[in-house]
Structure 1
């Protein structure tokens, strides 16, 4: 392992890491608010614009078309040009477009702007985890990334509160909600100016002096808190320096070459199943409760409790990611989500639906925390953002399809059809992790790459990258 990686691995969790957690976590939170607020806007604009069930589902899916594009190109751009610049521009993009969306007057324009804003949201969500995980020691990497993803839950709860207290105030409350969602992002954007580029990425690009300067500054920040750093201990694992990176399609090609192909297939299946089921549930549940007979106000108030269940789901999963391992945690929570889906499929009364929904919310977000902790670890550094971005992008196909499918299936088969479908898809994702997933617990990022992809020797990789340009 290079001295840069060894120096990062010896760092204790410090104020520097907590600051990273807040910067990245707040990005996830604002993304979640923006993604979730549509669930509370849909019942209002459906009536306002006289939308059919399918058109409502199409409107719910529009954001995730942009998510797909943003997630894909964030990963590819992040490996080529750096993680930090992508994260800054993604946040700016989605902030501006969300603000503009508050002033439209027809559902077609609304859907178009949601799709364009989704490019920024998708890029933000795909780049945060592979960027920040490269600063963190393997001793707490799983818990850190799980806790980072846990900020999604605060975003969903905030969206539910805005939906309950703001949207029903007047017929234009949904516009006020979108303005509220977009403005705080500006503060986060200003705060992120102090972020360093990933020293691991700088090193594999051959920018050793910059990587050294970043790590030295981090060490000074840690030492200023009174911590005495231990001597650097050489660790196992290979670090390869690349003066140039492959082309976009060249990096995609590398993901599908053995032995990475198995890992790529596993992450794509995992993200597709989880994202499909998450958005089928969270985008539609307030509207489904209304269609089941609740008033809009009551469904929004109940949704607050459903979304609150995300918080223990995320943070219990972050804990178990370190104690049980990423694979075990992901599969366990997917099993719990399947049980919740079966419960919802057979639910009859309002009380049963709400209790089953709370259980589903807890379980699904336990899976989300696990996948965010796991996915960046299973790819080597020079392909980490591409691997994470393409998995996230492929998963967005599920986010695009699921709201429309729910809008089509619910009138025909009700809760049984919707949640029977989600249960089956979750089982496919769980099987992919069980049979194709690799072990990452207790290993540094370099050790994982060496153990799983040791056959990708430096000279062979360099040749691949040269021919892929």
Structure 2
């Protein structure tokens, strides 16, 4: 019976949770689409506008630079102005900047527009995950946060499919339509998010208890109140710069390192997927087919991770993910001149096994920090991880030319193994804890 429920975190999954999951994870679909789209559009855009290798690297890395900015300030904005207000910022920026790409005439303008798109992505991470996790039942927290990563890769796969289709049928300037196509999905996301309530947990931290009570009743029913929400109002104001002083420095260090080690190889490969596959002797149409297939396997890996995250546990999942994906990357370096079937098998293995770490980039930052600093910690983790991702993306074209594909893959494997070591030393287990317990310092 509902009146016997001590916490709304123990309530079953309902229609509101389902809608909020799609509203929040929809931003991740747009993130994956708009970030991966450059992998399809960069080469024809560069040929049409005459980019040199410097601007190719800068444009590929520009969105990641924007994510650093957006993540750094997005968490603060989300904490200051509320989850609901900032919930609409990302979709608006996505729509306007994506449309503007259609009329781009030079590298500098495209760099700026993709920087703005990156800012929007950086804002999305803290606001959409905080909004969702603060409403979710305890047992659904890990799997549903994991959906952010699954939907990201679905968006990435859609970018490759839609982008290739437009390039093959859209005529001489089809690359312009490819770049602008993200505006369709981002506008749909904006419409989907209309009507989302504010987070009751955020309202409590701001002392707005009456409004928080109204949100709880409107979402869960009139028989529920703040007594069913295990969150106490606090007067302490904690900023992102006070994380270490507040005792969360070790957790922030862990999140930043493992997240960076997880995404550097992925973003570096995604930005230049056709070039990387061609360097591995996967050429012509097989390169495009390989890109789509590997992306689909990323989705499979993330789906498996969301199914086992509660049974296997966060810590075991992370350690196993880094271990087996690191072996696959090392194999790509060792067997870089192997037949295409071996190369695609190793890439596929990497895509499947890295899914566990990818899912946990959404779970750990939202579980390990309290409401007052959850969005800021998520934003800071996003920003720090993107420094390495942007650097890796910029270096890939140079590394392929100067050091070869084998050493490039060895470097990716070394980064992954470092993530394994850090996770072995620092990763906590939070699967059976309430959100308040997981965020508490013991």
- Structure 1 and Structure 2 fold alike (TM over 0.5): yes
Distance 1:360 1:50 in 2: 34
Distance 2:6 2:37 in 1: 43
**TM-score, normalization by structure 2:** 0.92
Residue in structure 1 matched with residue 214 of structure 2 by the alignment: 213
1:359 aligns with 2:349: yes
Asked if the contact 1:345/1:417 (under 8 Å) is kept, the reply is yes
SS at match of 2:344: helix
Asked if the contact 1:54/1:407 (under 8 Å) is kept, the reply is no
Q: Render the CA deviation track for 1:147-186: whole Å, top value 9, x for unaligned.
A: 2331112101101101321123333222111222112221
Between 296-305 and 81-90, the greater mean CA deviation after superposition: 296-305
Asked if the contact 2:322/2:353 (under 8 Å) is kept, the reply is yes
Residue in structure 2 matched with residue 277 of structure 1 by the alignment: 265
Distance 1:177 1:50 in 2: 18
Q: C-alpha displacement at 1:58, in angstroms? A: 2.0
Asked if the contact 1:166/1:176 (under 8 Å) is kept, the reply is yes
Shift in alpha-carbon separation, 1:418–1:14, aligned structure 2, 3 A: same
SS at match of 1:102: helix
Residue in structure 2 matched with residue 387 of structure 1 by the alignment: 377
Residue in structure 1 matched with residue 173 of structure 2 by the alignment: 172
Asked if the contact 2:212/2:226 (under 8 Å) is kept, the reply is no
Distance 1:317 1:281 in 2: 21
1:260 aligns with 2:261: no
Q: What are the ranges of 5 or more consecutive residues in structure 2 without an aligned counterpart?
A: none
Q: C-alpha displacement at 1:125, in angstroms? A: 2.5
Shift in alpha-carbon separation, 1:337–1:293, aligned structure 2, 3 A: closer
**Counterpart mapping for 1:4-403 below 5 A:** 6-169=6-169, 170-220=171-221, 239-242=231-234, 245-246=237-238, 251-257=239-245, 259-292=247-280, 295-346=283-334, 347-348=336-337, 349-403=339-393
Shift in alpha-carbon separation, 1:105–1:292, aligned structure 2, 3 A: farther
Aligned length: 436
Q: Render the CA deviation track for 1:57-92: whole Å, top value 9, x for unaligned.
A: 222101111111011111111122211211211221
Q: Render the CA deviation track for 1:354-382: whole Å, top value 9, x for unaligned.
A: 22222222223332112212221001111
Q: C-alpha displacement at 1:258, in angstroms? A: 5.5
Distance 1:67 1:86 in 2: 15
Asked if the contact 1:8/1:215 (under 8 Å) is kept, the reply is no
SS at match of 1:351: helix
Asked if the contact 2:217/2:225 (under 8 Å) is kept, the reply is no
Q: C-alpha displacement at 1:431, in angstroms? A: 2.1
Asked if the contact 1:334/1:364 (under 8 Å) is kept, the reply is yes
Q: C-alpha displacement at 1:210, in angstroms? A: 0.9
SS at match of 1:140: helix
Asked if the contact 2:129/2:366 (under 8 Å) is kept, the reply is yes
Q: What are the ranges of 5 or more consecutive residues in structure 1 without an aligned counterpart?
A: 224-228, 455-469
Distance 1:244 1:356 in 2: 50
Give 2:398's match in structure 1, choosing from 408, 411, 414: 408
Q: C-alpha displacement at 1:326, in angstroms? A: 1.2
Shift in alpha-carbon separation, 1:296–1:159, aligned structure 2, 3 A: farther
Asked if the contact 1:71/1:392 (under 8 Å) is kept, the reply is yes
Asked if the contact 2:98/2:181 (under 8 Å) is kept, the reply is no
Residue in structure 2 matched with residue 419 of structure 1 by the alignment: 409
SS at match of 1:194: coil
Q: C-alpha displacement at 1:54, in angstroms? A: 4.3
Shift in alpha-carbon separation, 1:25–1:252, aligned structure 2, 3 A: closer
Q: Render the CA deviation track for 1:177-235: whole Å, top value 9, x for unaligned.
A: 12221122212212211111111111121111111111111113xx9xxxxx9999979
Shift in alpha-carbon separation, 1:106–1:298, aligned structure 2, 3 A: farther
Asked if the contact 1:166/1:177 (under 8 Å) is kept, the reply is yes
Distance 1:118 1:74 in 2: 12
Shift in alpha-carbon separation, 1:447–1:412, aligned structure 2, 3 A: same
CA-based RMSD: 2.4
Asked if the contact 1:6/1:232 (under 8 Å) is kept, the reply is no
